[in-house]
Amino acid sequence: MSLKGPARTRLRRALRRHAREGWVRAVFSAPGEQGETEVVPGPGAGITATDEQLDALLEVAAREAGAGRVKQTLVLDERTRVRIDARYGKAKVQRLDDERITKVMGGKERALRPDSSGALLQAIGIMNPDGSISAKNAKKYKQVCHLVELCRPAWERVAGRRAIDEEHPLRVLDLACGNSYLTFVMAEALRLEGIAARLHGIDVRQDVVDRSRARAETLSMPHVTFDVAPIRAVDLGSVDALGGPPDIVLALHACDTATDEALARTVQAGTAEIYFAPCCHRELSTQLERSPVAALLGQGLLKRDYAATLTDALRVELLESCGYIVDTVEFVASTHTPKNLLIRAHRRHPDAVLDPQRWKLAKFADTCRELGVEPTALLLLSK
């Protein structure tokens, strides 16, 4: 479409009226949730715009309208937006007041609020540049906030054992961090709680580490760092980037036996708090040769599910054999992904000297022999 005559005049009038006192960014998108969104930075909230800046904004708005991006939003500050339909020049001011925030949060108080954590929610793709959260991303938003609450007991236990301050921050290590969404969510949640923390993620892929570093810079989080490394190369006894051993280790969706490597390394280091979300359970499915129910091995789908459940059940028992209290919870609804199991473990006596001689590996090994399997985690811990 081409924006001409009265429509252009009305759009000019609306933009000049609302953008004169400055804006953070202008967002241009097509109706609905399809197509690309263009974002143009403004002079800043409360900074009076010059005539040149206003004219440039109008030209961009007209051009974007011509490309079909008639849904145009001026973000005046983190709580105030002006939504304009470029076809008619009609402007509507929306303020992110408590009522609207509560609605966005689904009627419940959430750890990450749209007003106080907007930058983080945008950085991880949950909140749109115009400050809205789509119906699709609303589910992700609730899942992220739920995951914060699942992790909260870990840092509360650490805080109950030792002082946490700027000189002695909470230390969080994310193994196989991938896009590091959980790392950033944890960092934001701890910031909101006023808890001094250092967070470090490692992954074998340079591209995801580069993106994570760029995101940390964008969010002004110098205490969140990343490196390229395999799990087996990390010395959990003292992580340089953390200034000491981690208090909490995360390993979400580390593929197949990478989860076992993370489990073994954290147990050997005596890490007090461990969070795993296993995935890609391939190892035991190739080892299973006998079962009291023949169909569990004879039917491919049943064998796959049996191997996956058995793998995680053995991981739970192995952690318990090494002195951990363990529980399993669903951290994402199974309607969204089948990989929704979170294994949470914390040392029964975190202040006690680590003594592998007290681990009950022999009994656990007997169980594995009866099943005809050799989990990688057991092999690593038995060395």
pLDDT digits (tens, 9 = 90+) for 43-72: 999 999 999 999 999 889 988 988 889 999
pLDDT at residue 25 tops 50:
yes
Which of 48-52, 58-62, 242-246, 279-283 is least confident?
279-283
What are the two backbone dihedrals, phi and then psi, of residue 294, each rounded to the nearest 5 degrees? Answer: -60, -35
Tokens of 380: 């690593």
Tokens of 224: 């969140």
Would you state the pLDDT for residue 336? 43
pLDDT at residue 27 tops 90:
yes
Which among 72, 95, 78, 77 is positioned nearest to 26, based on CA atoms?
A: 72
The whole-model pTM stands at 0.86
Would you state the pLDDT for residue 286? 78
Cα 173–174–177 angle (5° rounding)? 155
Structural domains for the chain = 5-95 (no CATH), 138-381 (3.40.50.150)
| Average pLDDT estimate for 359-383 | 91
Would you state the pLDDT for residue 34? 61
pLDDT at residue 349 tops 50:
yes
Q: How confident is the model at residue 337 (pLDDT cuts 50, 70, 90)?
A: very low
Q: Is 108 helix (H, G, I), strand (E, B) or coil?
A: coil
State the Cα–Cα distance between residues 296 and 216, nearest whole angstrom. 46
Decide if 281 contacts 255 (C-beta within 8 A).
Answer: no
Q: How confident is the model at residue 2 (pLDDT cuts 50, 70, 90)?
A: low
Q: Name residues whose C-beta falls within 8 Å of residue 116's C-beta, 6 or more positions apart in sequence.
A: 192
Which of 12-16, 29-33, 91-95, 182-186 is least confident?
29-33
Q: 147-200, pLDDT tens digit by residue?
A: 999 999 999 999 999 999 999 999 999 999 999 999 999 999 999 999 999 999
| Average pLDDT estimate for 268-281 | 90
Cβ neighbours, 10 Å, residue 126 = 26
Q: Is 127 helix (H, G, I), strand (E, B) or coil?
A: coil
Would you state the pLDDT for residue 339? 59
Q: What is the CA radius of gyration of the chain?
A: 26
